[in-house]
Amino acid sequence: MRYSGFKVIKEALSGHKGWKPAWREPDPKPHYDVVIIGGGGHGLATAHYLAKVYGQKNIAVIEKGWIGGGNVGRNTTIIRSNYLLDGNEPFYEFSLKLWEGLEQDLNYNAMVSQRGIMNLIHSDAQRDAFVRRGNAMMLNGADAEYLDEAQIRREYPFLKFDDQRFPIKGGLAQRRGGTVRHDAVAWGYARSADSHGVDIIQNCEVTGFRIEGGVCKGVETSRGFIGAGKVGCAVAGNSSRVMAMAGMRLPIESHVLQAFVSEGLKPVLPGVITFGAGHFYVSQSDKGGLVFGGDLDGYNSYAQRGNLPVVEDVCEGGMAIMPMIGRARLLRMWGGIMDMSMDGSPYIDRTHIEGLYFNGGWCYGGFKATPASGYTFAHLLAKDAPHETATAYRLDRFKTGHMIDEKGMGNQPNLH
Amino acid sequence: MHDLIAITALGGLEPRVDTVAGTILSENPGLALASVHARMGHEDACRAHLADLLDGQVPEVGRTVLRDPEAAFWTGPDQWMVGAPFDTHEDLAAELKARFGDTASVSEQTDAWACFDLRGPGMAAVIELLCPINIRQMQTGDAQRTSIHHLGCFVLRRDPSDWVRILGPRASATSLHHAVLSAMRSAL
Amino acid sequence: MSQVNRLDGGQIDRAASFKFKFDGKDFFGHPGDTLASALLANGVRLMGRSFKYHRPRGPLTAGSEEPNALVTLRDGARAEPNTRATTAELFHGLTARSQNCWPSVKFDMMAVNDAASDFLAAGFYYKTFMWPAPFWEKVYEPIIRRAAGLGALSMKEDPDEYDKGFRHCDLLIIGAGPSGLMAALSAGRAGKEVILADEDFALGGRLLSERLEIGGASALDWTAQTVAELSSMPNVRLMPRTTIIGAFDHGIYGAVERVSDHLAVPAKGKPRQILWRIYADKTLLCAGATERPIAFENNDRPGIMLASAMRSYVNRWAATPAHRVAIFTSCDDGHRTAADLHAKGVKIAAVIDTRAQAPQSFDYEVLAGAEVSNTKGRLGLTFVEVKLADGSSRTVECSALGMSGGWNPNVHLTCHQRGRPAWDSVLSAFVPGGSLPQGMSVAGAAMGDFTTHGALLSGAKGAADALGIKTADVPMAEDAPPKQAAFWFVEGAKRAWLDQQNDVTVKDVVLAHQEGFRSVEHLKRYTTLGMATDQGKTSNMGGLAIMAELAGKAIPEVGTTIFRPPYTPVAIGALAGRMRGMEFHPTRLTPSHVWAKERGAVFVEVGNWLRAQWFPIAGETHWRQSVDREVAQTRASVGVCDCTTLGKIDVQGADAAHFLNKLYCNPFAKLAVGKVRYGLMLREDGIAMDDGTAARLAEDHFVVTTTTAKAGPVYQHMEFVRQCLMPDADVQLISTTEAWAQYAVAGPNSRALLQKIVDPEFDISNEAFEFMACANITVCGGLRARLFRISFSGEMAFEIAVPSRYGDALMRRLMAAGEEFDVVPYGTEALGVMRIEKGHAAGNELNGTTTANNLGMGRMVSKKKDSIGTVLSERAGLNEEDALKLVGVKPLNRAEKITAGGHLMAAASPVDAAHDQGYVTSAAYSPEVGSMIGLAFIKSGDARMGEKMRLVSPLTKSEVEVEVTSAHFVDPEGGRQRA
Amino acid sequence: MIINHPLLGPRDSSEFVYMGDASLIERPDPEAETAASDFVEYAYLRDNPASWLRELWFHEGGDRSWLVVTRNTVTHEISQVEMARDVARSKGRSK
């Protein structure tokens, strides 16, 4: 069923009786060509591109709970491609381009809104680093713009410029960055994948891998064994738990990242703003809530909730840079489990087990990566070779010494 | 005798005193400090020297020995901060090194810290707005390291018990003073 | 307008009157009123508009669960959007405005959405606005965004202050209703440290709203006596106006105390609110219960509210929403409301009870087995249509309708650590489940004990069980067993509201289910049910019940929803406290700060430090003039720079040298006493972590310096190595950064200057005190000091340290003594210029991705010993042939600019990432070279000396031809520093 | 969170700096033939269990001790707190 304005009007006039489920609820078949573990954004996107771009027919996505219930449903909805390193920038730029055509591709309005993202600069050293980054972005074909203090004052007059502990000296903007209605991304990919014949199997937990002679033959699940020609794992947040069932230890720690939303307010923020001298970034949703976040709580956790010190730290950052929000109220706080990798960059790679493929380690960059992650993982699954924009995301890069460390924090995941 | 004139941690020639509703915050530049850290394998000897210095007492975990002229508080495993009046013991570290010899590592800490005395009926209410110390349970002679507005500080409960001494990083004395004074104005 | 709906009695102070303004009109109320009770007393039912359909709305509740009566409180910079009129305490001069309506709350243009509601069903936006592609951002989204939100920010800085505080207790009691008061009494009398917190300004909870007796006297008297006794106990702290916002790990609770929100303006120096972090050994949740509304056609009109809220308005505030009221109930509690209202002289038009066996009354008509089928009255209820037991219909005229669908225990805080509530089929409600936050137990209505006596008893028992004390005796009170049957919605309704604020109706839930959004999380997200500012306190259960009905399952099989902190929304300012403005981070001042300020220095933030950036003198109009002068004068004669900010760590012990040998990649074991050595520390992953010097003052005593930025992390790393990797090494560490004022004295006349202040018994001639020497000395007639002959500038240079309190005097002395040499103070800019001229790496080069090899120090990494990072530094990827190497660049045309952050391309290559050869890390104008210069990492840079390259910076729209040079622009042989 | 410091008693975890898996104490032998791969595994691979984890916390705002805290990563419950130095010794580390 195609969605359109006409369809909405027609249904409104006939009591909305004609809307069909957005996806089927099939029982698992005994065997698929490709089984994707994880009905989150990345897994569903992988299925969509496998079916639509790579022409694969017999695909299942299996999900422990409900689709879209992981990090795609609990993030701060930001998209951008403002990366520094060559291992990352082409990939995230590819992702941004996919975002730009997503709604037409999916026939689903995920409200991709390119309202821009602006990183504030507060010191000379930070400016040097951001200039290097902005140049790297442009050399990779992305857009970037340097704003001096006067321009920032014009565009963001509500920021705190005077009596500022860390004065604003400029900013690096990416106008094509922005926000997306996060839940709709999962639903849109799911609906499209389903319409291309992908079986989306909810409430189906993987309990083990069937590995024979070094080859992965399928997965054991709470709904029985499901055979597979290839198995792709896209369960960021829980990668270590799932891959441990295949006997693998990963270069990943799971950490909690909190995010926050305020009560609905009349629109004030033009786009995404990140504070460069504290832990605070913010945007405003189409419903009016200020959506904001900051740093990891810092300790390993699978609890999907955080603690007060980080809540306070984030709000301190917010009040430092934007003290007009003092009387706005924080409405909700929540935590997501981040697959924190050892250099802050993800993995999309084959494993040493034939037929088993891995996608994870997204740190807190997973949401914006969703389309490209799905696309390149689909490419890897279909072609057995990495997509050209994802060649650096190898699992063995620590052995070879080819880290992709944007922040330069080394092998301590909670610092990335 | 050298002829350089010292300034206080707050940058003045005289220590600053503020009073809010009968509770007094005073800057105290009159304290010489040195850390004493037992050498590996010399822990007992080090404690003996410390006891010798402090009338037979050694501060245990989280405690101080309050006495004149030298006093001390526990700062870590086998580690103490020794204090004495600055006027008479300016080169405290050298005095202690001579006493402890190879049983301890001694480091001058006098000007690593800014010292403030907070004293009066509102002391506990002020401390509640500054740091997580359980001031209602804290006894005279207790010493705790804590964080005041992101500054790592020592808080020592003195005698009488309406008096605490706060040692905070000297370079941030102005910020620390502002924090304590704001809390006094808020709480009292 | 007079207070037409004000009744007799109530807990308001009629002796005083508060004048206040709502939507520009003046009204009067009394101390003890909330804004909502005062407006109701004045006959105002319409207080706001809903989010999506802009439906006219009045208060649904009398508490913090309110979804409808949201106003913007106060004016100007203190304007506070989305404030619940039901909890806002009235004060003299209060002003409030309704919101989300234009031009007025009575006539709102956007109410056109209501007429179009068929087109705006759940999830409609996901299905449309996609064509043509650019229209979403250019046309549709701006329209949707304009409609977004409820209230507006003032756009001005919040002028109020906020505090944070910390409290500890044996028992935290959350909620001061009957169970909370009884628990506090028990624990208080047992001598325990107790905190009793309640979000209300008056303690007593539901007791304040009921006509009840406790121990034979009025419940209000018992409450007053109990509060008085608790107030007299030094071990009990009463915290009214305090909301426990969240239960965090290990018994830590967040609490917001509204210190000044009931005042027009906070008193000087006093905070508006305080965020308390409460450390509770045990916690008793006595949060009470919330009455459930019923979903029926047009159940959202102003005048329709929870029956218990009516009881509160009438009993506590002596304000009735109308003089003719009907009640729609599915349980006995609705009859209690009718009786209370009747007793206060309010006309009860009818009690419509869904049960066939409804209790009858002599005072008013009871319609048993009946349901409300519709309501009328656009801006305020005028009558309800009732479907009677026999299927016939009649209308009941009334201006207010109370709904009573039973009660839900307030389990929210029990779920903050992702515990799930349990289903109680007797109550048809969720009650606290098994996995409560550590140390928490629950009592009273929050546990499902809905009678007053039950609440008192469970409060006493809860305290006793938590603390291991004796259970206190409990006074007699009402003990009628609760009767509540589930009744969630009236069948066949078209538009029956579940979530009034977000305008989610029964129909939306049905549609979500039809489209496959069947898990609770999908339902919430697709329909926005429960996502409004009230967090679904009155709506989530209704939604669940309908989902259960649609799925043909029991409610607990469908699921529960997780409640997340905060319990009620919290001002962001309160969560930030005083850490804002100039207090955002502490400021660290150097020992020469007072002097530098007098001298007119320009300061710059370096981490938390403020450092002098340059020292302008009369006639200088541009910073470059000052900096060039400082550099030139230092190189020509002598300059002084405060470098106290560098980390200084005292390393002592018999194994100190062995320890440093492990930390630094270059050897330290054999460093002679009295000497300093440059050292490079690697992380275990082989990447450079920090650099600095280690000075050996004695066989067993080193002073290690770190960069300013890394002082903390390096100290932590050293403690890790000491305690975790070398636990038996005899090493002791302590930071001495702030203990010593340390100044660089640099330039050809540095020795001559220092000789004037170093006491004569110390020979600092080149022979006696050569380059990289160090010593304990005295200055100015006996002041203990440390002297290091190290150079960051490349000139002959020393660093001299004295106890910090003398730093100011030493700086003044150096300036005075240096007059004859034309001494110049220099700041961080000149320092930076000179280090770039010398090719010294700093933060821009030690950026966490560079190796010793990249830095041109590959040979420093000792192969003869093990140190942190050496093994992994040997990985192939870090040692490729074309690895980046630190070099210098300068423009072919001297007038052109070197941009730090620019990338380097070979002379004739395309400009793109594939041809990127490296980047400039640092750049400065070099007076000595006569042009800008830069340090750069370039692939195989050390083999490309003299190559002409292009430095491109598309971001700043520049492209400059440069030449690759050595990074050592000045005195590459190092003769000057050895002079 | 509250960490029950073996010497100082219960302390707010905000006084601590977290580093991660306590296996970082077990630094491999740099002389071993397998040192290159041992160090890669040591520095980069983690069990990352969704259950009990022994982890390193530094009492930065306290006595500057490194602690080994045994904590459940799902519930955040803490079952044991040890001085890291003692743990290091028990693992055979010395100088």
What is the C-alpha separation between C516 and C445, in angstroms, rounded? Answer: 36
What is the C-alpha separation between C285 and C539, in angstroms, rounded? Answer: 22
Q: Which domain holds residue A213?
A: 27-81+83-108+182-252+343-415
Pairing outcome for strands C289-291 and C407-409 = antiparallel
Mean pLDDT of A263-291: 95
| Residues B126 and B161 occupy one common structural domain | yes
Mean pLDDT of C232-246: 98
**Is residue C113 within 8 Å of C120, Cβ to Cβ?**
yes
**Is residue C232 within 8 Å of C226, Cβ to Cβ?**
no
Residue type for C4, please? V
Of D43, D48, D55, the CB nearest to A411: D43
Say yes or no for a CB contact (<8 Å) between B147 and D7: no
**Is residue A311 within 8 Å of C575, Cβ to Cβ?**
yes
| Residues A262 and A404 occupy one common structural domain | no
**A260 membership: H or E segment, kind and range:** strand A252-264
Instruction: Identify the sign of the CA torsion C900, C906, C909, C914.
Output: negative
| Residues C635 and C661 occupy one common structural domain | no
| Residues C393 and C257 occupy one common structural domain | no
Structure tokens at A71: 């990090």
Q: Which of A5-19, C510-524, C582-596 has the lowest mean pLDDT?
A: A5-19
CATH number of the domain bearing residue C930: 2.40.30.110
The pLDDT, as a whole number, for residue C485 is 79
| Residues C638 and C772 occupy one common structural domain | yes
CATH number of the domain bearing residue A58: 3.50.50.60
Mean pLDDT of D10-25: 96
Mean pLDDT of A130-154: 98
Say yes or no for a CB contact (<8 Å) between C269 and B150: no
Overall pTM surpassing 0.80 (yes/no): yes
Question: Which residues of chain D have a Cβ shorter than 8 Å from any chain B Cβ?
Answer: 7-9, 12, 14-15, 60-65, 83, 85
D54-94 pLDDT tens trace? 999 999 999 999 999 999 999 999 999 999 999 999 999 99
| Residues C440 and C569 occupy one common structural domain | yes
The pLDDT, as a whole number, for residue A15 is 85
CA distance D55 to chain A (A): 9
A390-412 pLDDT tens trace? 999 999 999 999 999 999 999 99
Mean pLDDT of C689-709: 97
| Residues B78 and B52 occupy one common structural domain | yes
Structure tokens at A105: 């591709």
What is the C-alpha separation between D78 and D57, in angstroms, rounded? Answer: 13
What is the C-alpha separation between B141 and C913, in angstroms, rounded? Answer: 64
Q: Which of D46, D54, D70 to mutate to test the interface with A (most CBs of A within 10 A)?
A: D46
Pairing outcome for strands A59-62 and A31-37 = parallel
Mean model confidence pLDDT for chain A: 96
Could you write out the DSSP letters of every residue in A364-400? T-HHHHHHHHHHHHHHHHHHSS--GGGTT--TTHHHH
| Residues B36 and B94 occupy one common structural domain | yes
C451-460 pLDDT tens trace? 999 999 999 9
**Between helices C506-514 and C540-551, what is the axis angle to 10°?**
40
Does the pLDDT of residue C122 top 90, yes or no? no
The pLDDT, as a whole number, for residue C684 is 98
Residues 6+ apart with CB under 8 A from C607: C588, C645, C708, C709
Mean pLDDT of C950-968: 98
Tell me whether residue B9 is in a domain: no
Of D13, D86, D88, the CB nearest to C725: D88
Tell me whether residue B3 is in a domain: no
**Chain D environment of C250 (Cβ under 8 Å):** 1-2, 76, 78
Domain ranges within chain D, ordered by starting residue: 2-90
Mean model confidence pLDDT for chain C: 95
What is the C-alpha separation between C527 and A378, in angstroms, rounded? Answer: 32
| Residues B48 and B95 occupy one common structural domain | yes
Of A104, A129, A305, the CB nearest to C417: A305
| Residues A34 and A164 occupy one common structural domain | no
The pLDDT, as a whole number, for residue C217 is 93
The model's confidence at residue C127, banded by pLDDT at 50, 70 and 90, is: confident
Which of 3.90.190.20, 3.30.2270.10, 3.40.50.10860, 3.40.50.720 would CATH assign to domain D2-90?
Answer: 3.30.2270.10
The pLDDT, as a whole number, for residue A151 is 97
Mean pLDDT of A3-23: 88
| Residues B117 and B25 occupy one common structural domain | yes
The pLDDT, as a whole number, for residue C492 is 87
Does B77 sit behind a cis peptide bond, omega within 30 degrees of 0 on the bond before it? no
| Residues C187 and C287 occupy one common structural domain | yes
Name the 3-class secondary structure at D76. coil
Pairing outcome for strands A280-284 and A272-275 = antiparallel
| Residues B24 and B92 occupy one common structural domain | no
Q: Which of C153, C256, C829, C915 to mutate to test the interface with A (most CBs of A within 10 A)?
A: C153
Say yes or no for a CB contact (<8 Å) between D2 and C719: no
| Residues C394 and C409 occupy one common structural domain | no
**Chain A environment of D15 (Cβ under 8 Å):** none
| Residues B76 and B145 occupy one common structural domain | no
Tell me whether residue B2 is in a domain: no
Nearest Cα residue in chain C from B91: C784
| Residues C754 and C607 occupy one common structural domain | yes
Alpha helices in C190-296 (DSSP H): 219-231
Residue A398 Ramachandran class (φ > 0 left, ψ -120 to 50 alpha, else beta):
alpha
Tell me whether residue A7 is in a domain: no
Say yes or no for a CB contact (<8 Å) between B171 and C167: no
The pLDDT, as a whole number, for residue A191 is 97
C566 touches chain B (CB under 8 A): no
- Tally the domains of chain B: 2
Nearest Cα residue in chain C from A99: C133
| Residues C612 and C669 occupy one common structural domain | no
Could you write out the DSSP letters of every residue in C88-125? PBP-TT-EEEE-S-SB-SSSBGGGHHHHTGGGG-TTGG
Q: Count of CB contacts below 8 A, B vs D?
A: 27
Task: For chain A, give the percent of residues with pLDDT over 70.
Answer: 100
C652 touches chain B (CB under 8 A): yes
C801-813 pLDDT tens trace? 999 999 999 999 9
Nearest Cα residue in chain B from D12: B132
Nearest to C10 by CA among C318, C323, C310: C318
**Is residue A176 within 8 Å of A147, Cβ to Cβ?**
no
| Residues A87 and A234 occupy one common structural domain | yes
**Is residue C814 within 8 Å of C806, Cβ to Cβ?**
no
**Chain D environment of B77 (Cβ under 8 Å):** 7, 63, 65, 83, 85
**Chain C environment of A304 (Cβ under 8 Å):** 418
Mean model confidence pLDDT for chain D: 97
Structure tokens at B138: 């804290």
What is the C-alpha separation between C491 and C496, in angstroms, rounded? Answer: 10
Say yes or no for a CB contact (<8 Å) between C652 and B110: no
Tell me whether residue C343 is in a domain: yes
Q: Which domain holds residue B169?
A: 17-29+112-187
Tell me whether residue B6 is in a domain: no
What is the C-alpha separation between C665 and C682, in angstroms, rounded? Answer: 7
The pLDDT, as a whole number, for residue B125 is 98
Tell me whether residue B21 is in a domain: yes
Residues 6+ apart with CB under 8 A from C741: B111, C590, C591, C592, C642, C644, C801, C802, C803, C804, C806, C807, C808, C810, C811
**Chain A environment of C125 (Cβ under 8 Å):** 109, 111
Instruction: Identify the sign of the CA torsion C169, C173, C176, C177.
Output: negative
Task: For chain D, give the percent of residues with pLDDT over 90.
Answer: 99
The pLDDT, as a whole number, for residue C148 is 75
Tell me whether residue B42 is in a domain: yes
What secondary structure, in 3-state letters, does C634-693 show? HHHCCEEEECCCCEEEEEECCCHHHHHHHHECCCCCCCCCCEEEEEEEECCCCCEEEEEE
Q: Which of A9-18, C54-63, C358-367, C439-448 has the lowest mean pLDDT?
A: A9-18
CATH number of the domain bearing residue B118: 3.30.1360.120
Residues comprising chain C, all counted = 979
**Chain C environment of B102 (Cβ under 8 Å):** 700
- Tally the domains of chain A: 2
CA distance C699 to chain A (A): 34
| Residues B23 and B42 occupy one common structural domain | no
B37 touches chain C (CB under 8 A): yes
| Residues A262 and A308 occupy one common structural domain | yes
What is the C-alpha separation between C57 and B100, in angstroms, rounded? Answer: 78
| Residues A394 and A352 occupy one common structural domain | yes
**Between helices C520-527 and A182-195, what is the axis angle to 10°?**
110
CA A80 centroid distance within chain: 11
Could you write out the DSSP letters of every residue in A23-69? S--PPPPSEEEEEEE--SHHHHHHHHHHHHTS---SEEEE-SSSTT-
**Is residue C475 within 8 Å of C222, Cβ to Cβ?**
yes
The pLDDT, as a whole number, for residue A157 is 96
C356-412 pLDDT tens trace? 999 999 999 999 999 999 999 989 999 999 999 999 999 999 999 999 999 999 999
Residue after which a domain boundary falls, among B64, B84, B110: B110
| Residues B104 and B166 occupy one common structural domain | no
Tell me whether residue B175 is in a domain: yes
Does the pLDDT of residue C484 top 90, yes or no? no
CA distance A304 to chain D (A): 9
Residue after which a domain boundary falls, among A298, A318, A340: A340
Nearest Cα residue in chain D from C658: D95
Of A134, A334, A405, the CB nearest to C848: A405
Nearest to B28 by CA among B47, B43, B52, B9: B9
| Residues A186 and A333 occupy one common structural domain | no
| Residues C168 and C250 occupy one common structural domain | yes
How many CB atoms lie under 10 A from the CB of residue D15? 22
CA distance C866 to chain D (A): 7
Say yes or no for a CB contact (<8 Å) between A125 and C51: no
CA dist A255 → A206, A296, A306, C252, C404 (Å): 22, 7, 10, 20, 44
| Residues A91 and A210 occupy one common structural domain | yes
**Chain D environment of B132 (Cβ under 8 Å):** 12
- Tally the domains of chain C: 7
**A20 membership: H or E segment, kind and range:** none
Say yes or no for a CB contact (<8 Å) between B172 and C594: no
| Residues B86 and B138 occupy one common structural domain | no
E-assigned strand segments in C747-892:
774-779, 783-788, 797-803, 824-825, 884-891
**Is residue C246 within 8 Å of C566, Cβ to Cβ?**
yes
Residue C562 Ramachandran class (φ > 0 left, ψ -120 to 50 alpha, else beta):
beta
C717-773 pLDDT tens trace? 999 999 999 999 999 999 999 999 999 999 999 999 999 999 999 999 999 999 999
Residues 6+ apart with CB under 8 A from C694: C651, C660, C664, C668, C671, C676, C677, C679, C702, C703, C704, C705
CATH number of the domain bearing residue C692: 3.30.70.1400
Residues 6+ apart with CB under 8 A from D77: C438, D71
Residue after which a domain boundary falls, among B55, B86, B110: B110
Does the pLDDT of residue A170 top 90, yes or no? yes
CA distance A146 to chain C (A): 6
Tell me whether residue C105 is in a domain: yes
How many CB atoms lie under 10 A from the CB of residue C520? 20
Does the pLDDT of residue A149 top 90, yes or no? yes
The model's confidence at residue C434, banded by pLDDT at 50, 70 and 90, is: confident
What is the C-alpha separation between C642 and C646, in angstroms, rounded? Answer: 10
Say yes or no for a CB contact (<8 Å) between B11 and C781: no
Structure tokens at A106: 């999916």
Question: Which residues of chain B have a Cβ shorter than 8 Å from any chain D Cβ?
Answer: 61-62, 75-77, 79, 132, 145-147, 152
CATH number of the domain bearing residue C602: 3.30.1360.120
| Residues C286 and C358 occupy one common structural domain | no
**Is residue C519 within 8 Å of A23, Cβ to Cβ?**
no
| Residues A72 and A37 occupy one common structural domain | yes
CATH number of the domain bearing residue A303: 3.30.9.10
Task: For chain B, give the percent of residues with pLDDT over 90.
Answer: 98
The model's confidence at residue C112, banded by pLDDT at 50, 70 and 90, is: confident
Mean pLDDT of C559-578: 93
Does C103 sit behind a cis peptide bond, omega within 30 degrees of 0 on the bond before it? yes
ipTM of model: 0.97
Say yes or no for a CB contact (<8 Å) between A309 and D74: no
Instruction: Identify the sign of the CA torsion C109, C115, C119, C125.
Output: positive
Residue after which a domain boundary falls, among A340, A358, A388: A340
What is the strand order of the sheet B31-38 is part of? Answer: B64-65, B71-76, B79-85, B31-38, B104-108
Neighbours of chain B (3+ CB pairs under 8 A): C, D
D23 touches chain C (CB under 8 A): no
Does the pLDDT of residue C186 top 80, yes or no? yes
Tell me whether residue C145 is in a domain: no
Could you write out the DSSP letters of every residue in C368-415? ET-EEEEEE-SSS--EEEEE-TTS-EEEEE-SEEEEE--EEE--GGGG
Say yes or no for a CB contact (<8 Å) between A316 and C126: no
Tell me whether residue B182 is in a domain: yes
Neighbours of chain C (3+ CB pairs under 8 A): A, B, D
Residue after which a domain boundary falls, among B110, B145, B170: B110
What is the C-alpha separation between C39 and C32, in angstroms, rounded? Answer: 13
The pLDDT, as a whole number, for residue C940 is 97
**Chain C environment of B37 (Cβ under 8 Å):** 652, 732, 734
**Alpha-carbon Rg for chain C in angstroms:** 38
Residue with tokens 């210098």: C888
CA distance D90 to chain A (A): 24
Instruction: Identify the sign of the CA torsion D2, D5, D8, D14.
Output: negative
With residues binned 3-state (H G I as helix, E B as strand, rest as coil), the percentages for chain D, rounded to 5, are 25, 35, 40
Say yes or no for a CB contact (<8 Å) between D62 and B145: yes
| Residues A261 and A404 occupy one common structural domain | no
The model's confidence at residue C19, banded by pLDDT at 50, 70 and 90, is: very high
B63-101 pLDDT tens trace? 999 998 999 999 999 999 999 999 999 999 999 999 999
| Residues A172 and A270 occupy one common structural domain | yes
Say yes or no for a CB contact (<8 Å) between A16 and C121: yes
The pLDDT, as a whole number, for residue A4 is 87
The model's confidence at residue C111, banded by pLDDT at 50, 70 and 90, is: confident
Tell me whether residue C897 is in a domain: yes
C323-333 pLDDT tens trace? 999 999 999 99
C841-874 pLDDT tens trace? 999 999 999 999 999 999 999 889 999 999 999 9
Q: Which domain holds residue C724?
A: 647-735
Say yes or no for a CB contact (<8 Å) between C955 and A135: yes
| Residues C768 and C651 occupy one common structural domain | no
Instruction: Identify the sign of the CA torsion A183, A189, A195, A201.
Output: negative
